[in-house]
Structure 1
């Protein structure tokens, strides 16, 4: 009989495997393949029949792979479609997967280039082209779909980049998740992972609230493990942060040199208090993706510092 996959077992397996990643690298998966293909068709629809993006994409991929056809189909669009959906799951080869990533990058690149060309031609003819706004919006949709699905890539500055290769993720987010895999920080780990899930789903207000909860949970665990009797479970973030200084988790000699640290630590709950944990009132509130991303990174940096300083993980 298989062992029950309890939370503790999943967490231990994740820690043992060093798997703290919040994004997968492969496979693309049937759902995302379909959503991306539908967006490719939206881009394709901006251009005339003889100037289709998917046809250009199929030709470019044939050249890159070094084959006369992708899936033995004479029609270029059909050749691409059959090849695109023929992903070997759940374990595509590295070469197969890399070419699908190249296809995503090329679709965005070709679409944007063709839209810019149409805009220039329209300008010369003193007419107006709507291609660029439509294609730019489609590229944004591609990024949103990948993020929502937990697929760790984004199209930025003309290239498809791996999210986990970015400095902030590699040097802050991932090490924080690794430290939170310690069973002591179970609640904070859940809350911070929930924040990531809410970010992927574009629930930015909930993301910020979960970040604040995770931050407070980390301090409460440290206080409990260190035996700080003056820290209560109901204390707000401001009192919890004061306790860090009062109990010299941040040594006195560091406090003078690191005056900015207190501001950084206070920044994590401050964004939550101002933006997410109080009612919106009469006017609907819209929290930006940029603010939520900033809060994720700020909270991770603060928790990474505190857990490392506490020597509990």
Structure 2
């Protein structure tokens, strides 16, 4: 269902009562209710004796219960649907509430989208594709800094950077040969969303290296299995993927990623952080993630443009 620009919304916009920065630690109740409407419309209602929609709710509930170590999400639920939605509407932990959103939308993509039997045996008012569009619009509408992309919730710090760098990067990494880089890039974002900034830098570096390895393999250029980022950059330069003047820029990105924390300086995993914990600020991890996104996008587009 489309997001309607109601009179009350237009008045709030006219008065400047709209979020100008993203929040990450709060999911307003109106937003949660809107998400329930989206999931209900996308999961649908079963025809007569069919149980496709019922099984979708059961799958979401069973996974959550197993992962949280619970027998039930809420006391005395009337159904699995009732259990999931009551839990979601009342849950104080934002991360757990986001778990419900991400898992429900993964079910839409994996079990409902392109499933003809599901379509024939349920009554639905919205497709999984349109459900994702509406969810992302609701996130923006409430100033909540997340988007559902590539089957995961991604934290968004700048709408411009997300639209111009992160989202296109996720798109190109879905191409043939880039599955490993895509997985590592998503893992970097997942670590960042949960505040694991050191781990985010580690996976950003892996994604950067894996992208170059994928291109080199697709191009059948000569390289060694244990080549580091420095050697991979040299291979890309010598084979004409990158112009010569990009060597300094690419090397600077490599150094930034490898020296972000001391454990990254050693190609075999580092020697530990020592007696004092090493803290990586969120703004540094965010900078590295965005820089990694633009660099990966540049590399893949150069690969696609190369004859």
More helix by share: 1
- Bigger radius of gyration: 1
